[in-house]
Copies of this chain bind each other. A is one copy, B any other.
Amino acid sequence: MQMTEDKLQLKHVEITSDFWQRYRELVVKEVLPYQWQVMNDEADISISEDPQNNGQDKNSHAVANLKIAAGQQTGHHYGFPFQDTDVYKWLEAAAYSFNYHPDADLRKITDNLVDLIADAQEDDGYLSTYFQIDAPERKFKRLQQSHELYTMGHYIEAGVAYYQATHNEKALDTAKRMADCINRNFGLGDGQIPGFDGHPEIELALARLYEITQNDTYLKLAHYFLTQRGQDPDFFDKQLAADGSSTDRDIIQGMQDPDLTYFLAAEPIKDQQVPQGHAVRVVYLCTGMAYVARYTHDQDLLDACHRFWNDLVKRQMYITGNIGSTTTGEALTYDYDLPNDTMYGETCASVGMAFFARQMLHLDAKGEYADVLEKELFNGALSGMSLDGKHFFYVNPLEADPVASKLNPGKSHVLTHRADWFGCACCPANLARLITSVDHYLYTVKDRTILSHQFIANRATLANGIQIEQMNNFPWEGDIQYTVHNPQQEAFRLGLRIPAWSSKFQLTVNGHADTATVQNGFVYLDLAEATTTITLSLDMTVKFMRANNRVNADFGKVAVQRGPIVYAAEAVDNQQSLGQYQVSPSDTTHYQFDQQLLNGVGVVTVDAHRAVTDDTTPALYTDQDSSQETASLTLIPYYAWANRDEGQMRVWLNRQFQ
């Protein structure tokens, strides 16, 4: 029987994965309440040690800023000009949680918050509490650093998500009024500002708003921001000159220091050959580019998406998915420059990379995009939060040492324990919204093909009654079972991802071995039976990975990976210094799942060697080799590091030398 419609539609995805259910419930039970407390200045936390603190004290004041703007209380704005976004990202995270864990108490809070936000919004749709409270005359006048469109973009995302989850019209209306305000103020028409925000975000937010409203205005506005970026390299300087270029006039100290590449605004995107600058700006911009390109088919944008993706993934990404090689400007540096101990690897950049990967999957059915998405979900992004949901990393190093962080100023930005909160608190809620929305990241539907590209156990229901059930114990086991119920026996195509880390795999369909060839990382099955059972066995061998040998920092080193999980050695399981262990790809490895450890993790041990620690008394340099001993090296998943005693950690292990 043929499909009655020419497109498949995903209706609902229920996550059944133990691994992800635990995280998703953690967000509901711990993360959201904790963050709400913090944003209401009711949590007993310490951010004094936070290198991203920027001189702030321990208050967030984020909710208070909205109340002041709404006229419900008095006082000055406090915090960064984008402090509002902490609230919006939290609201967005909460909205997604209602899809799997409705909670009446939380719902009361979020409905009230939607009201508060609407009350804080100006009649013309403008909303940025810093400017409303303390600098109303400077609205849209210092976009290089104002983050106004960034801030409103985050609300638009939250408003869309909240409307989708709850059908709260006000939430969406506030978003539309914001977008309309921006649309009136920005553009190349008379009296409009021919500019764009220093921090991309509005582009992807407007694309989301377009998706739900189908109002072309928003898509066009998003496209405008993407094509206008960098057209006039003097735009920021002109605004700064008009608003007062003295640094006393700065809204964020130091924001006049970076050059235009930091803002991806030195030239039009179509002319930018490689992504440069602030890593989070890069991935937010890329997400917007891919999102808008999907609907506009703008070839310049499509080309830029592929160009930037390729450079990021092939030349600037850590094995954990983290990006950002330097703390200076939280930025990318240059191809193959991936130092492990002075790096940045901001949590937000990994979250944003997941956004970008998801959008790229809509453009092309390439397993590579899903590989990176998976990498972020199980490594680089996930490491941003502690197992208790109350401590966070802003910086995610691949090699860390508490002594180095304390005593070498070049590593002072690298924390070796997760912090309670941050002065610039972009990361915690960003990760929360990724986790609560992870059900949006498992499938990509295009016409009559549905790609199942993540091995997160789930039950997906399509509009036409098709149900795809995926069962597994991933990421610890590689046996993936699908049962597809297709009551109307409609013909459709199911693409199953074969991860790059599993070049070997076995596939059976209804008990028969299938020999489908891998096309761009997917095997495709044409299904039309009422019930189809599929088993996919992935290669869960422990692998010693190495970097392209152009990566100086990783030469002579290997990292252990099993499935999508990148492993790390921690001091608590091993002898310090971890740098004295030496492993060889020929070393025997053992894998065991330990239910008691770190909420249940697969542990890898390597029959390695270890240099016997030299004495402190002889000369510092010698021509005599040190002696070695056999030593078992214990590794845990990278995402779970820094949940026990503080100590050294490293992903890249020294190879056994001759």
**Chain A residues within CB distance 8 Å of chain B:** 313-315, 317, 319, 325-329, 331, 333-334, 337, 339, 342, 401, 403-404, 407-410, 500, 543-552, 555-556, 559, 561, 577, 579-580, 582, 584-586, 611, 613-614, 616-623, 625-626, 654-658
Contacts and interface: CB of A to CB of B under 8 A. Distances in A.
A620 B313 contact: yes
A327 B410 contact: yes
A409 B342 CA distance: 11
Given A337-B408, A410-B326, A657-B657, A549 B621 contact: no
A656 B625 CA distance: 14
Contact of A579 (B327, B331, B555): B555
A384 B342 CA distance: 27
A223 to B, nearest CB: 31
B614 A549 contact: yes
B549 A626 contact: yes
Contacts of A319: 620-621
Contacts of A314: 616-617, 619-620
Contacts of A401: 552
A657 B657 CA distance: 4
Which 3 pairs show the lowest CB-CB distances between chains A and B?
Answer: A328-B409, A655-B657, A334-B407
A546 B621 contact: yes
A268 B31 CA distance: 49
19 contacts: A313-B620, A314-B620, A315-B616, A326-B408, A326-B409, A328-B409, A334-B408, A337-B404, A342-B410, A401-B552, A543-B623, A546-B622, A548-B618, A550-B577, A552-B577, A556-B556, A561-B621, A585-B623, A655-B657
Contacts of A407: 333-334, 337
B620 A548 contact: yes
A319 B623 CA distance: 12
Contacts of A555: 579-580, 611, 654
A614 B410 CA distance: 30
A328 B342 CA distance: 14
A408 B343 CA distance: 10
Nearest to A501: B623
A498 B93 CA distance: 71
Given A548-B620, A555-B579, 17 more contacts: A313-B620, A317-B620, A328-B410, A331-B409, A334-B408, A337-B408, A342-B342, A545-B622, A547-B620, A549-B611, A549-B626, A550-B614, A555-B654, A561-B621, A561-B623, A584-B658, A655-B658
A620 B410 contact: no
Contacts of A342: 342, 410
A292 B549 CA distance: 53
A623 B546 contact: yes
Contacts of A544: 623
A552 B552 CA distance: 15
A545 B623 contact: yes
A556 B620 contact: no
Nearest to A581: B555
A625 B547 contact: no
A613 B410 CA distance: 30
A619 B408 contact: no
Given A342-B342, A408-B325, A549 B658 contact: no
Q: Which of A315, A329, A548, A586 has the most CB of B within 10 A?
A: A548
Given A549-B613, A621-B545, A658-B655, A582 B559 contact: no
Contacts of A409: 326, 328-329, 331, 333
A11 to B, nearest CB: 35
Nearest to A618: B548
Q: Which of A401, A403, A408, A617 has the most CB of B within 10 A?
A: A408
